[in-house]
Amino acid sequence: MRFTYAETMTDPANYIPLAQAAETAGYTSMVIADSVAYPRDSDSTYPYTPDGSREFLDDKPFIEAFVLSAALAAATTTLRFTPFVLKLPIRPPVLVAKQAASVAALSGNRFGLGVGISPWPEDFEIMDVPFQKRGARMDECIDIVRGLTAGGYFEFQGKFYDIPPIKITPVPTEPIPILIGGHSEPALRRAAQRGDGWMHAGGDDLDRLLARLGELRTEYGTREDFEVHVISMDGFTVDGVKRLEDKGVTDVIVGFRLPYTREADTEPLDRKIANLERFAETVIAKSGN
């Protein structure tokens, strides 16, 4: 089992010392939150809060995901970084490919690309991208990013993008894992069909989602080294980690603060570091990793 540290919407000055502390403590990776802008007016709901409230995001600091990943990679030597998740279809896929390849090349292949579809029409509107057919657009974006980051000339003709033969340089020496986030049937199918892994955002229905993902992986003949990243209370005990391993989970995402609150994060940095170190001592060190 690999362990991923999660901290978001905190003072940006905390990120580098937290990443360095997580690396020293034995974590494999750190997830990076993504948000482009916060709309003042919106009827949209947030899918991962019980009441659909989105107000907890107002005035919270988000460093751009590729910028933060590069900064943290420069301050560490072994820790991996994965956006959790990048709102891919609102962005130009060629630019995403260039950004992802650059971070992966500079970091020595320590970058994975977690991607998903924004639940907010406003994200599409402000980026001048149609909200309709966003799933099909997402599929083309994934194919373009994978093709361009593999190296060599790549061309693409689809319903949304028509790209002549181009290449980007540099590209990393290893493929960038593309991990698909989301709990819906289309998201699970997309992960099994196009992804190198799946990212789970928490909740009580993990067993159902894993079972369905397993069915879809069988249907599409998913690669054996498919990654399964989950948030689960089982991830906080040694016995629970073993249960997750038995279910095919490869990576546990753990955080030590509830981010879905309207209040600003006032937890001191030294307490954050103590929390991640305590988990490393009581769970990571005793889980055979």
How many CB atoms sit inside 10 A of residue 216's CB? 18
Q: What pLDDT sits at residue 144?
A: 98
Look at the chain and report how many structural domains it folds into.
1
Q: Could you tell me the pLDDT band of residue 47, with boundaries at 50, 70 and 90?
A: confident
Average pLDDT of the chain, as a whole number: 95
Length of the chain: 289
Helices (H) and strands (E) in the chain, counts: 9, 11
- The pLDDT of residue 53 is 80
Whether 212 is in a domain gets the answer: yes
Is residue 231 situated within a structural domain?
yes
Write the secondary structure of 131-144 as one string of H (helix), E (strand) and C (coil): CCCHHHHHHHHHHH
Enclosing H/E stretch for 230: strand 227-230
- The pLDDT value recorded for residue 289 is 61
On whether the CB atoms of residues 201 and 228 are closer than 8 A, the answer is no
> What predicted TM-score, i.e. pTM, was given to this entire model?
0.96
Show the domain range for 135: 2-284
Residue 124 CA to residue 140 CA, distance in Å, equals: 16
pLDDT, mean of residues 194-217: 96
Q: Residue 289: inside a domain, yes or no?
A: no
Within a domain: 19: yes
272: in domain: yes
Q: What was the pLDDT predicted at 45?
A: 80
Q: Are 7 and 272 in contact (CB under 8 A)?
A: yes
Question: Does any domain span residue 34?
Answer: yes
Domain of residue 166, CATH code:
3.20.20.30
Whether residue 209 is predicted with pLDDT greater than 80 in this model: the reply is yes
What tokens does 46 get? 């947030």
pLDDT at 114: 98
Residue 41, pLDDT above cutoff 90: no
Token couple for 140: 């083309």
Q: CA 100: distance to chain centroid?
A: 13
60: alpha, beta or left? (left if phi > 0; alpha if psi -120 to 50): beta
Q: What pLDDT, on the 0 to 100 scale, is given for residue 4?
A: 98
Q: What are phi and psi of 29, to 5 degrees?
A: -150, 175
Poorest-pLDDT segment among 159-168, 219-228, 263-272: 219-228
* 26 or 222, higher pLDDT: 26
Residues 49-84: tens digit of each pLDDT: 778 888 888 999 999 999 999 999 999 999 999 999
First to last CA, the chain: 7
**Identity of residue 96:** V
Domain for residue 121, yes or no? yes
